[in-house]
Amino acid sequence: MLRLYGRARGTSGIFLKIIIMNRKTKSVYVCSSCGESYPKWMGKCESCGAWDTITEFREPIGLSRTVKSYNAAPPEVITLAAHKGESATRITCQFPEIDRVLGGGLVKGAVALLGGDPGIGKSTLLLQLMAHWASGGKKTLYISGEESTEQIVMRAQRLGVGAAPVQMVTETSVEAVLALLSAQKPDIVVVDSIQTIFTEQLESAPGSVSQIRESTALLLRFAKANGTALFLIGHVTKEGAIAGPRVLEHMVDTVLSFEGDTTYQYRIVRAVKNRFGPSGEIALLSMSDSGLKEVANASEFFLLNRHEPIVGTAIAPIMEGSRILVVELQALVNRSHFGIPQRVASGINPRKLSLILAVLERHGGSLLGDHDVFFNIAGGLTVAEPSIDLGIAAAILSSFRSKPLKRELACLGEVGLGGEIRPVNNMGGRLRELSRMGFRECVVTGSVRNADWAKNTNGLTLITCRKIGELQEVIF
C-alpha cells in the first residue's frame, strides 16, 4: 500500500491531505491452527477449539468476484484409458528408506512439506539429499532464509559433501525466488524454511498465516508448471502441528514429519500424507557426527539387552507403516510409600497404563492398588498401537512378581476390558519377523484355531492365552 501525505498550507490555513492508496485492504482474523477465518477477533476458534490462535491479518480487497465470459480456448479433456502416460519418473536418493517413504522416489513437480522440531535435523537431511542429487547431475537449488551461505558451506563440509555442486542462495522474498527459479529452471528446490519467506504483495510479517499461505501458493504454481520438485521446510508449533494453517498441508502433495528426540540418535521420517505413495510409511535414520545415516538392522534397532533376562522387561513387535519394529517394554512396580500411588508412563498414553492395571487387578487377580508403577519403552519410542497391551501387562507382572520372563519370548495382543486377549492386524508378518530375529515363543490370543497366520509361523511356537488371568502361567 502506498500512502502519500501531501501537505499544502493554503491562505485559509487548512491542511490539505491527499491519500493515494493503490490497494485497499481489510482485516480478517485467521486461526493459525486450522486456517478458519472470522470477521472479528475471538479468543477461541469455533472450528478447531484452539485458544488464542486467532490473529489479524490484512488481505487485499477489490478483486472482481464476478466471472467474465471466458474467451481463451477451453482446456483439453483426456480419457484415463487413452492416456499413454509415461509413468511418473522417480528420482531416487542415497537412502532407500527415504525413497520408500516418498513412495518409490521423488516425483517431478511434487511439492513436499518437511516439518519437525527445531534442531532435529531437517536442514541436515535435505542438504545431504541435495548433495547426492547434485552429484548425480540434477540441477539443484537450496534457498535458505535462515542461515547464511557460509553456515551452509560449513555444514556441508562437516557432512563430507562440501564438493557437491549444489547451488545456494539466501533469499526471503518470494518474488525474488520466483525470478531466480524462472531464470535457472532447477530440477529440485529446497526452501528452508517456508516461515521465513514472504511476498511483497501482502503487508503482514513473514511467518504469518497469510504470508505462508500466499508464498506457498506462488511456489506451488511454479513447481507444477515447470515440473520442479520442491521441498518446503516447516517449523512446528509447541503442539507438534506444522506452524501456519492446516491449509498448507492440504496444498502440498506430501507431508513428511521428522520425529525423534534430540537426546537419542534415531530419527524417524514419517509420510503423514502422500499423493504418490502410501501414507504412514517411516524411514528410520540415525544422526551421527557426519550427518544422517541409514540404520542397518532397523527391526532390531530398539532392542538393547535382549540376551540378559531382566525383571520387568517384555518384548513386543509393533508396526510403523509397513515396517515391523521389535521393542523392549520396561516396567517397575514398587510398594508405594504415599497415600496415592504413582503411575508414570513414557512412550504410551498414561491412560493405557491405568487401563491395563485395572484389567490386571479385576480379571488377573494382581492387586496393584498400593504399588507405584513406572513404564517406559526403551530407546524413547512412542507407540499408540494396541498390539503392545499384552507386553505391557507381562512387563508389569514380571516386575510385580520379581521374576524375569522366559528367554526368547515375545508377547503380541490387544487386551480388552473384559480381560480377553485379542489378535491385532498383520499377525503373520509380525510373527515371521520375530522368528527371523531368533525368538522361539510368542504369547498370542486364544482364538487361533481357524486363523491363517497361526498355520505358518516359521518355527515360532505360539503360546495361547485366552484371558489375562492365564498370563502368569505362560510367561515365566
What's the Rg (C-alpha) of the chain?
28
Q: With respect to ligand TYD, which residue has the nearer C-beta, 290 or 354?
A: 290
Please identify, among the stretches 48-56, 83-91, 121-129, 375-383, the one whose residues bind Mg ion according to the rule CB under 5 A: 121-129
**All 3 cell numbers of residue 324?**
515391523
Please identify, among the stretches 79-87, 118-126, 346-354, 402-410, the one whose residues bind Mg ion according to the rule CB under 5 A: 118-126
Sign of the Cα torsion 388, 393, 395, 396 reads positive
Query: Residue 256 Cβ, how far from ligand TYD at the closest point, in Å?
Result: 12
Q: With respect to ligand TYD, which residue has the nearer C-beta, 286 or 464?
A: 286
Q: With respect to ligand TYD, which residue has the nearer C-beta, 290 or 305?
A: 290
By a kind-dependent CB cut-off of 5 to 8 A, residue 116 interacts, out of Mg ion, ligand TYD, none, with ligand TYD
Q: With respect to Mg ion, which residue has the nearer C-beta, 119 or 459?
A: 119
List the Cα angle 306/312/315 in 5-degree steps.
Answer: 45
Give the whole-angstrom CA distance, residue 103 versus residue 98: 9
Please identify, among the stretches 39-47, 197-205, 282-290, 448-456, the one whose residues bind ligand TYD according to the rule CB under 6 A: 282-290
Smallest Cα–Cα separation from 324: which of 304, 308, 339, 302?
A: 302
Smallest Cα–Cα separation from 392: which of 408, 406, 372, 412?
A: 412
Q: What mask, x for binding Mg ion by CB under 5 A, covers residues 435 to 464?
A: ------------------------------
DSSP state of 173: B
CB-CB contact of 148 with 294 (8 Å): no
Sign of the Cα torsion 441, 442, 443, 444 reads negative
SS3 call for 20: coil
Total residues interacting with ligand TYD, rule: CB under 6 A: 15
Query: Residue 209 Cβ, how far from ligand TYD at the closest point, in Å?
Result: 21
Q: With respect to ligand TYD, which residue has the nearer C-beta, 26 or 158?
A: 158
**All 3 cell numbers of residue 140?**
539443484
Give the whole-angstrom CA distance, residue 159 versus residue 148: 17
**All 3 cell numbers of residue 314?**
517384555
Q: With respect to ligand TYD, which residue has the nearer C-beta, 290 or 322?
A: 290
β-sheet with 323-335: strand ranges across: 313-320, 323-335, 371-377, 343-345
Question: Quick check: 269 binds ligand TYD (CB under 6 A)?
Answer: no
Query: Residue 14 Cβ, how far from ligand TYD at the closest point, in Å?
Result: 57
How many other C-beta atoms are found inside a 10 Å radius of the C-beta of residue 52?
11
Smallest Cα–Cα separation from 298: which of 314, 331, 322?
A: 322
Q: Which amino acid is at 109?
A: G
Query: What is the Cα 30 distance to its own chain's centre?
Result: 24
Question: Quick check: 196 binds Mg ion (CB under 5 A)?
Answer: no
Question: Quick check: 271 binds ligand TYD (CB under 6 A)?
Answer: no
Residues numbered 88-127 forming contacts with ligand TYD, rule: CB under 6 A? 116, 118-124
Question: Quick check: 123 binds Mg ion (CB under 5 A)?
Answer: yes
Q: With respect to ligand TYD, which residue has the nearer C-beta, 159 or 310?
A: 159
By a kind-dependent CB cut-off of 5 to 8 A, residue 215 interacts, out of ligand TYD, Mg ion, none, with none
Nearest 5°: phi and psi at 318?
-115, 165
Please identify, among the stretches 154-162, 172-180, 379-387, 457-465, the one whose residues bind ligand TYD according to the rule CB under 6 A: 154-162
By a kind-dependent CB cut-off of 5 to 8 A, residue 445 interacts, out of ligand TYD, Mg ion, none, with none
Question: Quick check: 153 binds ligand TYD (CB under 6 A)?
Answer: no
Query: Residue 474 Cβ, how far from Mg ion at the closest point, in Å?
Result: 50
Q: With respect to ligand TYD, which residue has the nearer C-beta, 287 or 424?
A: 287
Cα separations (Å) of 148 from 18, 154, 172? 42, 10, 12
Q: With respect to Mg ion, which residue has the nearer C-beta, 123 or 140?
A: 123
Q: Which residues bind Mg ion (CB under 5 A)?
A: 123
Q: Which residues bind ligand TYD (CB under 6 A)?
A: 116, 118-124, 155, 158-159, 287, 289-291
